[in-house]
Amino acid sequence: MKKRFSNLWFAFVMLVFMIMLSSAVFMMTIIFIIKRFTIIEPGQFHAFGFLAAVLLTGILTGTLITAVIGQKILLPISRLREATKEVAKGNFNVQLYENIKIEEFREMAKDFNKMVQELQGIETLRTDFVTNVSHEFKTPITAIEGYAALLQNSDLPAEEREEYAGKIISSTRQLSMLTNNILKLSKLENQEIIIEKTEFSLDEQIRQALLLLEPQWSGKQLDLEIQLAETGFYGSEELLMQVWINILGNAVKFSREYGNLSVTLTESPQNVSVEITDTGIGMTPEVQRHIFEKFYQGDKARASYGNGLGLPLAKRIVDLCGGRIIVSSKPGQGSTFLIELPRG
């Protein structure tokens, strides 16, 4: 609740009181000196003129004190004004002095500093995002340009022609996946709830996701262990499919040949849990800390087919469902992604 009489109000009242008191003391001192040392004989001065002179001096003294003290009190506001001007210009590198006696001004300075730090963080994220997006676009575009230029050579053997055309196709796919993911993520980030919900079979959906990834896992000859409890689920079928494809896709991508991939689906009246475990390259704690950041790729060498948006997308979808993703991993031993979803 807002305090009716704030400290600022108290400080203001005290200030006015102090000014009035000092003016009164000043006036009384003058009267005392005049009386004590009989500087003016009692009959010599006109009572009204004398009173006016003392009053005027009192007012002048009060104004002088207000000017001096007021300047000190209003200093934080002047500083805030200067700092706000800088922020308006786009300079987030400003901080206000926080060691102020009056609580309201001290809190205001602290809040302002916090706000500027947040803005600076958002600005960094924005510029990082733009840098990452342009970098991710540049690589396939450069490849397309380069291979298309090579294809212009009419003497090119058929084999090389085919190879270069293939490279152009895969770079185009990479670009299309990138734009798709950026669009999906920005759409999901602007969304707070899932509207299109239907009842569907979650175990069937996970089986379908595994089937879609069959060329990849059978290529690596992974040993699959699947235990899926029959589970009906009410939610967004399309969005959840994306979660399984991204997380299962990573489990396969970061697996070595002949590794194991286990997928378990269990349910309780409140939750459904999907556990995806691979025996692949695993992650260091440092990599684990960043995997949900946009464009983050821990292992650049293996991440060529991807753009660091798979896990941020999966996390955003799971967040929107009110669930969570728990990751445990050891470098060289493998990773487990546990996805818990509340029954909607």
Footprint on this chain of ligand ADP (rule: CB under 6 A): 246, 250-251, 254, 278, 280-283, 287, 291, 296-299, 303, 306-312, 335
Cβ-based nearer residue to ligand ADP, 114 or 289: 289
d(CA 162, CA 144): 14
From the CB of 304, what's the least distance to ligand ADP, in Å? 9
d(CA 274, CA 266): 7
From the CB of 298, what's the least distance to ligand ADP, in Å? 2
Cβ-based nearer residue to ligand ADP, 61 or 250: 250
C-beta separation of 312 from 240 below 8 A: no
From the CB of 260, what's the least distance to ligand ADP, in Å? 12
Residue given tokens 């798979």 in the structure block: 310
Cβ-based nearer residue to ligand ADP, 63 or 333: 333
Which residue is at the shortest CB distance from ligand ADP? 306
SS (H, E, C) 45-57: CCHHHHHHHHHHH
From the CB of 10, what's the least distance to ligand ADP, in Å? 55
DSSP 125-183: HHHHHHHHHHHHHHHHHHHHHHHHHHHT-TT--HHHHHHHHHHHHHHHHHHHHHHHHHH
C-beta separation of 54 from 35 below 8 A: no
Give, as one character, the DSSP assignment of residue 255.
Answer: P
Cβ-based nearer residue to ligand ADP, 298 or 322: 298
d(CA 144, CA 137): 11
From the CB of 336, what's the least distance to ligand ADP, in Å? 9
Cβ-based nearer residue to ligand ADP, 203 or 278: 278
From the CB of 136, what's the least distance to ligand ADP, in Å? 10
SS3 256: coil
Cβ-based nearer residue to ligand ADP, 237 or 299: 299
Decide the pairing of beta strands 232-235 and 198-201: antiparallel
From the CB of 156, what's the least distance to ligand ADP, in Å? 33
Residue given tokens 């697996």 in the structure block: 255
Cβ-based nearer residue to ligand ADP, 97 or 305: 305
